[in-house]
Amino acid sequence: MLFYLFANTPDPVGVFPLEATGCQDFLAWLGKRPGFREKQVISAMGSTSVAEFEIFNSSENVR
């Protein structure tokens, strides 16, 4: 699983794998922010095929 971080540009501003040091801390931090989509993370973790899941959107206030 890879996390791609996007800003207001078409290319990612950061990419890191789930196994990267600090990834769990990052997810915990992100999980406290408005716009975090916990259900999408759960779906992504259970996915067995190549897919795209938007787990955070700073312009939303969802859970």
Beta partners for 14?
Answer: 5
Please give the pLDDT value at position 25.
92
What are the structural domain ranges in the chain? 34-63
Q: Which helix (H) or strand (E) holds 8?
A: none
Over residues 28-53, the pLDDT tens digits come to 999 999 999 999 999 988 999 988 88
- pTM here? 0.73
Task: Find the distance separating the first CA and the last CA of the chain, reported in whole Å.
Answer: 21
